Structure 1
Amino acid sequence: MGSGIEHEERFRRIYAANFEPLLAYAMRRVEQPEDAADVVADTFLVAWRRSRDLPPEAEVRLWLYGVARRVLANHHRAGARRDRLGDRLRQRIRFAVAVDPGSQVPERLTVQAALARLGKLDREVLMLTFWEGLEPREAAAVLRVSPAVVRSRLSRARARFRDLVGDDLGPPGHVLDVMPAGTWEEGR
């Protein structure tokens, strides 16, 4: 029992003696102070998990710097991955807005008004098949209804939407990027 208490006391001493130097080390290597706090916390988590293997207290700071260095490398790799993912997401959003007729205000308002007049299930069936590009059987799985229900709702929703907007949307599964602005005026 005494060795457990001694073990905890040693860790507390190591923590108290090394927290501020490790925080300063991390702060000089990250952009945000909260990232430095995360690096220090992760470093001490590793130290706690491996506390029975820690070197003598005279050498422990160097060991902690080595752990912090690896934690920082992981932090920077994760940040680079997040940045790349963010860039890809921003590109996809720009592309989606560029090809989405809803990005053009008059058409968007017309489409939104027409969609609002559809029933909830009809609207969702139409949006899943046209905007999301799902097949009726896939939309049925998402909505937890039979494919037959989706097909009949899709047929009815397309007809109602066509009446409201005055334009045919094309075959099921196509994205709504095929509606040029001029077509809206022609169908009215």
Structure 2
Amino acid sequence: MASIEELFNEDLHGGEEINDMIHYNEYYIKCDNENRPSEILFPANGNLYKIQNGKPVECIPGDDPRFIEKHIEKAINNFVETTALKGNFGKASYYDDIIECRQDNSCLRILIDRHTKIVRISNILIPNTLVHQGLGKQLINEIYKVATKDDYKLHLVDMVQGFYKRMLKRGAKVIESEDILEITDQTRLID
């Protein structure tokens, strides 16, 4: 098994050599109060390294559940890019435990509670020209797959009454009557 330093060097130089030139990955650095690197993130694979005294001491792999926001962001953006939502839905961005997508007549808002391990979708609005095509339910399904992979539950909150009733008919579990539903394996999101 490779050491943390070997993994770090592989991520740092990870790329094929071309004409005797070594590829250096792009990365982000967080510095401590004395302007020394304390964390380095490689966006290509999401690996995060904790740095002490200039050496990597811990590697958190990009697929770690602590990065659930990145996994959800990626799932949303991939789904949007491969469906009719492309060009009609904003790019997902994460800030302060909230993921949002906004553009004209579309909106998606997701709250992540790491303590209770619950992902909450509080807003999902598909453009009028694309409603009743199942895109919203498919998007919820993509988020559900990521949430359950990382042992999170997925709740729908703050729904309009019509959507609440439709999701009940599809088998969503009532958590709080008229207010919170949980998506489970029994919920029929895809027709």
TM-score of the aligned structures, taking structure 1 as reference length = 0.26
More helix by share: 1
More strand by share: 2
Q: Which has the larger radius of gyration?
A: 1
Q: Looking at both structures, which has the greater relative contact order when contacts are Cα pairs under 8 Å and sequence separation is at least 6?
A: 1
TM-score of the aligned structures, taking structure 2 as reference length = 0.26
